[in-house]
């Protein structure tokens, strides 16, 4: 029987083609495939098959409401102010000022006090559509996360684990 709900852990983005092919196979069999990634930018040239969800790990984290204002002040308003000027100025501002402030000041503040527990968040997300049938560990960087995810099950109703759809 085809797996209904499959999570493909591809956090290292080093075997993207295999992740996309595996996800496409699951979707073609009528299942739900979620590819969990760490850096969505690394996947910008890759198009998942219809029905495949590409989810950034950071998007699973709870975000306080004020983070929207931070995005407005730090990114959207400056982008508008620099509209029409050379793209180079915008890119330099984003790299040297906005990204640094976001990463080093506002993101840690947003996470402070919140229990993020990545493995629980991943499980919560993928099981929202039903029981998780299979975890495909797609690259080395995903291995520690896969172990943490499996530990959240505590031995009950464990999903199967494979390194590719072919050897599930």
Partner 1 sequence: MAVVTPWYPNSHHPFAGAFVQAMVEATAPGTDMTVYHCAEWGHRLPAAESAAVESAYETLLGYTHRPPRPTPTAGGARLITVPVPLSVGLSYAAIAKRHEVVLRSALGNEPLDAPVVHAHVGLPGGWAALKNSRPGARIFVTEHATFLDRVLEQPEARAMYDELLQHCAGFFAVGDPVRDPLVKAFPQHQDRIGYVPNPISFAAERAEPVRELRRWLFVGNLTERKGVQWLVEAFARCRADDPELTLTLVGDGDLRRALVKQAADLGVADAVRFTGMQPPEEALRLMREHDLLVHPSRFETFGMVVVEAVAAGMALLVTKCGGPEEILAGIEDAAGEMVDVEESSDALVAGYQRLRDRLAAGLDLRPVREQLAGRYGYPAVAEAHHGAWFAREGSDG
Nearest approach in angstroms of CB 163 to partner 1 is 5
Q: How far is the CB of 128 from partner 1 (least distance, A)?
A: 23
Residue 68's H or E segment, with its range, is helix 66-71
CB of 66 to partner 1, least distance (A): 32
Residue number with CB closer to partner 1 (72 or 158) = 158
Q: What angle do CA 11, 98, 96 make, to 5 degrees?
A: 95
The DSSP call for residue 106 is I
Contacts by 152-158 with C-beta closer than 8 Å and gap 24+? 152/119, 152/120, 152/123, 153/123, 157/131
Which residue's CB is nearer to partner 1, number 93 or number 163?
163
Footprint of partner 1 (CB under 8 A): 12, 14-15, 17-18, 21-22, 137, 139-141, 143-144, 146-147, 150, 158, 161-164, 166-168
């Amino acid at each position: 029987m085809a797996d209904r709900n499959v999570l493909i852990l591809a956090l290292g983005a080093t075997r993207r083609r295999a992740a996309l092919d595996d996800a496409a196979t699951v979707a073609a069999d009528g299942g739900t495939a979620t590819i969990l990634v760490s850096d969505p930018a690394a996947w910008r040239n890759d198009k998942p098959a219809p029905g495949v969800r590409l989810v950034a790990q950071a998007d699973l984290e709870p975000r306080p409401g004020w983070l929207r204002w931070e995005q407005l002040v730090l990114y959207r308003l400056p982008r508008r102010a620099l509209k029409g000027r050379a793209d180079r100025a915008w890119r330099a501002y984003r790299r040297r000022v906005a990204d640094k402030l976001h990463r080093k000041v506002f993101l840690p503040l947003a996470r402070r006090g919140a229990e993020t527990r990545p493995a629980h968040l991943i499980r919560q997300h993928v099981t929202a559509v039903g029981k998780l049938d299979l975890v495909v560990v797609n690259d080395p960087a995903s291995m520690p996360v896969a172990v943490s995810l499996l530990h959240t099950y505590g031995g009950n109703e464990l999903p199967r684990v494979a390194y590719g759809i072919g050897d599930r």
